[in-house]
Amino acid sequence: MHVPDGFFDLAVSVGAGAVAVAGMAVCLRGARRELDDRTAPMAGLVAAFIFAVQMLNFPVAAGTSGHLLGGALAAILVGPYTAVLCVSVVLLVQGFFFADGGLTALGVNITLMAMVTAVVGWGVFRLITRGAPGSRAVIVAASFVAALVSVPAAALVFTLLFWIGGTAPIDVASVAAAMGGVHVLIGIGEGLITAVTVSSVLAVRPDLVYGARGLAKRLVLRTAEGTEAPLVAAPATGEAPVGRIRPLLIGGGLVAILLAGVVSFYASASPDGLEKVAADKGLNAHEEEHRLSDAPLADYGVKGIEDERISVGLAGVVGVGITVLAGGAVFYTVRRRRRNGAAVIVVRQ
């Protein structure tokens, strides 16, 4: 659902940009409460994983494909504020390095793909999990439903924005039906990917799933006398040391590289839901070529490399690396600000 340049007039583009900037400012502040020694590196991995999976367009109907948006997945794994930052980092990398998503439409894309999906996805997830007993099955089922709902929600907000300030006349009811219908199908794919990913992390490290905090039982040491004492994870902060999640980070990073570097070559070449509806309904009448269409990695290929398989794979691996570096810089900075702002009181006896 990457909106290209030329779809929206100046007023909507600027307005969405202002909403995106304000939203990211709020999320930078909110993410300080979510990011700790476990979730900060996890957030970088989540951003890289979303970048990789977004390269994997899957067929949803005749001549139409879809791909992960990732807002709901990120919200469940690392928290809603951090989720908006994760997806925003991915969109910035895609827009400036891969010519995917218009630069003038960057505010629209962040609003739709990062903010709407994270807010709606997290809201649906919390609604389900608050009303049901806490268990892994409930968490996974809630993840599926939350991700499914978040995709058509973003599609309908796009329709509303286009009705307000699109560059082509539309029958809003017809476009809403088309966008909503195809994105429900895409949402099913998003739900499956989200449920499988959340289930996989729950199986190995349930404590790293933000939406499942409280699900994992506290570890207890039982002495020879039969008494019990809580097991302390980290003496100073109570947070698990980064080294303990290194296997998950390495494994997740390798999966992202495999998906972006190998599996992405086999992605569906059909237009995604927005592209299909835009072509059918005339939304793309004033679409403009991306201003960075001549970039070295434009269209997810490396210029100068003739072998398409190698070109796409190498571009995907480079994209994962750029996303990890960009996301890591953002999340490390936010985490550092939290540490510097925390008051530490030392009592001597």
For each of the domains in the chain, give its residue range(s) and CATH number, in order of start.
Answer: 10-232+240-341 (1.10.1760.20)
For helices 136-165 and 10-34, what crossing angle results, to 10°? 160
Provide the residue-wise pLDDT of the chain in tens; the chain has 349 residues.
Answer: 899 999 999 999 999 999 999 999 999 999 999 998 778 899 999 999 999 999 999 999 879 999 999 999 999 999 999 999 999 999 999 999 999 999 999 999 999 999 999 999 999 999 999 877 778 999 999 999 999 999 999 999 999 999 999 999 999 999 999 999 999 999 999 999 999 999 999 999 998 999 998 665 544 555 555 555 544 444 333 444 444 788 899 999 999 999 999 999 999 999 999 999 999 999 999 999 999 999 999 999 999 999 999 999 999 999 999 999 999 999 989 988 766 655 443 344 4
Identify which of 38, 110, 67, 94 has the alpha carbon closest to the alpha carbon of residue 323: 94
pLDDT on residue 222: 59
Instruction: State how far the Cα of 130 lies from the Cα of 133, in Å rounded to an integer.
Output: 8
pTM, two decimals, is 0.89
The DSSP line for 239-305 is S--GGGGHHHHHHHHHHHHHHHHTGGGGS--S-BHHHHHHHHHTTTTT----TTTTSTTGGGS-TT-
pLDDT on residue 335: 85
pLDDT on residue 163: 97
pLDDT on residue 340: 65
Instruction: State how far the Cα of 114 lies from the Cα of 107, in Å rounded to an integer.
Output: 10
